Amino acid sequence: MSGRFIVFEGGEGVGKSTQSRLLAEALRARGLEVITTREPGGTPGAEAIRALLLDLHGPGYGARAEALLFAAARADHVETLIRPALARGAWVVCDRYLDSSRAYQGGGSGLEDADILTLHSIGSAGLLPDCTVLLTLDPDEAAARVAQRDAGGLDRIGGRPADYHARVAAAFLRYAAAEPERFALIAADGTPEAVHARVLAAVALL
């Protein structure tokens, strides 16, 4: 029996990492094997690319090079970790995936969505999640959470200006509207436990 692939998406500060952890704990409590992972990253090769992309002291890349690097990291992640886990029946819970590339390099940086999807088709054979949980939050509250979380400094992408992140948020909503069968739109306001309850209700449909 194949497993299930759940991805958490959304802008900065919406609580993806927290909700990924809470969902994984709930699924494990049901006796399921659960793999938690993230993008970019999740495997040694992909984590090395993550460091290149996000390090404020690194060389920096243009939007096209960024998209290629994200796709390369994802290709290794899918081949090495995600597909083998799904094949043995595990559930994979991932913090960011393809739609972050679409929203950040596409919506934020202006690349064509079709080009990003082509890279995904080549690198990861088009693997899509069974459910993409899109967490949404008022921009001011999200910014306040980010300021508290990243008091030591933002990474290269998180530190981009507000108008960039507004384009990213709008792009996520467009993708969710275009593919309602794949996305679960979840309000991320309130306590982590309240948001977790909304997530569980959405994932229970799988």
Domains of the chain with bracketed CATH: 5-203 (3.40.50.300)
Whether the per-residue pLDDT at 2 is higher than 80: the answer is: no
The residue with tokens 């934020």 is 108
Q: Give residue 40's pLDDT.
A: 95
* CA 53 to each of CA 72, 105, 122, 158, 176: distance values in angstroms, whole numbers, following the listed order: 12, 12, 21, 11, 26
pTM here is 0.92
- Give me the mean pLDDT over the 172-196 stretch: 96
- What confidence tens digit (pLDDT) does each residue in 87-118 have? 999 999 999 999 999 999 999 999 999 999 99
* Cα 113 to Cα 175: distance, rounded to the nearest angstrom: 10
Q: Give residue 1's pLDDT.
A: 61
**Cis amide leading into 40 (omega within 30):** yes
* Cα 89 to Cα 96: distance, rounded to the nearest angstrom: 21
